[in-house]
Amino acid sequence: MRAPGADTETLVQPARRRGVSVVPGSAFLPVDGFRDRLRWPYAHGTAALEAALPTLLERAERATAG
């Protein structure tokens, strides 16, 4: 998932506190980059993804507004 304008490092902990486990995109690179990307496990099916999206969107909106 891309969160334009957001530093996803700041989204991870608040999302986890709300039950959504995600990893910032920067965790998958040896150099700094993809800070506006999130990765989450999608093997749990679409219901888990649909439940997580409102939380992720809210956190991304707060990160870009502030």
pLDDT tens track, the chain, 66 positions: 787 888 888 888 888 888 888 888 888 888 878 888 888 777 777 887 888 888 888 877 887 776
Partnered with residue 23 across adjacent β-strands are 39
Pairing of strands 38-39, 23-24: antiparallel
Residue the block writes with tokens 């996803």 = 8
52 phi and psi angles, rounded to 5 deg:
-80, -30
Name which of 34, 4, 9 is nearest 22 in CA terms.
9
DSSP 5: T
Q: Side chain identity at 63, as an amino acid letter?
A: A
